[in-house]
Amino acid sequence: MESSPNDRSPIDTALQWLSARTVNGVFGLLALASLPLVGMFSSALLVMLVLKNGLRMAIIQAAITAGLLAIASLMSGKNPAVVAFSMAAIWAPGLILVTLLMATRSLALTLQISVIAMAALIGLIFVIAPDPTAFWESTLNAVAAAWREQGQEDMASVVEQLLPFAEHMTLTIVLALWIVHSALFSLGYAMAGRLPGASAPYGRFAELSLGKVIAILMAVSSLVAMVVNAILLQNLAFLFYAVFWLQGLALLHWLHAEKKIPVVLLIFAYASLVIPPINAIALMVLALVGYADAWFNFRRERLA
């Protein structure tokens, strides 16, 4: 039964307002995209708008927002092409994932396909650049030089500090992109589920499972990598392991829904994911929990 307006939280009321009219969604996207540090969350809002109002309307809202941002940047003397590229980089992955979600009609399958796609991307990078260390050293030096030409010495120094990690840059970038955009996509999916009259036609996040196929791929690639000492296989093995952090987080949501852990523990898990340097540790712990769940299925008692 749908809750009355008085029963809704301020967050639910805000989400309903943002999805109610085209201009409201544009305002929300514009506000988030304009604010420092939280601009990435506009991708989650866009996913919610797609699930509520359809892909066509959400793309129109995104285009209007991007146009307004470009005009604002032009008026302030900045390059509007940079703004357009930034918005595309933030919104495109979410739009791809939500389109895939509507095609597969399965949250789990969508994320499974995205993991395989990231593994294929790592393989493609190794094909294009057989020596990834040299490739990233060259790329990072070029980026640093570009920043220096624009007078951004601080940014150039930041990029140059990444040079010692060039050997692992392929995995780091691909995994970071997957973690960020899968999390934003999942957040947008959860936001859509809080709208009045919404259900979970594509599956509940608390029941998310990446399945045994990816778990087996992780085990096999790890064993083979130990024998042949191939950097590509080492990268794939770590990718297949780390992605299980999302299943570990889903398991915590399931445990909370089943009243087996307090909400404080769930809040602590989220806080630890955004507070360096413990966020890396929290990610690996959640990945371990999620990987174990893939094999032993701790959620045999499904949510009612």
Q: Give pLDDT tens digits for 266-301.
A: 999 999 988 888 988 999 999 999 999 999 998 876
**How does residue 199 score in pLDDT terms, banded at 50, 70 and 90?**
confident
Which pLDDT score is estimated for 11? 87
Which pLDDT score is estimated for 215? 96
The number of beta carbons lying within 10 Å of the beta carbon of residue 72 is 14
Q: Is the pLDDT of residue 59 over 90?
A: yes
What is the residue-averaged pLDDT of the chain?
89
Q: Is the pLDDT of residue 303 over 60?
A: no
Which pLDDT score is estimated for 82? 77
The fraction of the chain above a pLDDT of 90, given in percent, is: 59
Query: In this predicted structure, which of 71-75, 81-85, 86-90, 152-156 has the lowest mean pLDDT?
Result: 152-156
Task: Calculate mean pLDDT across residues 129-134.
Answer: 85
Task: Calculate mean pLDDT across residues 41-64.
Answer: 96
Q: Is the pLDDT of residue 166 over 70?
A: yes
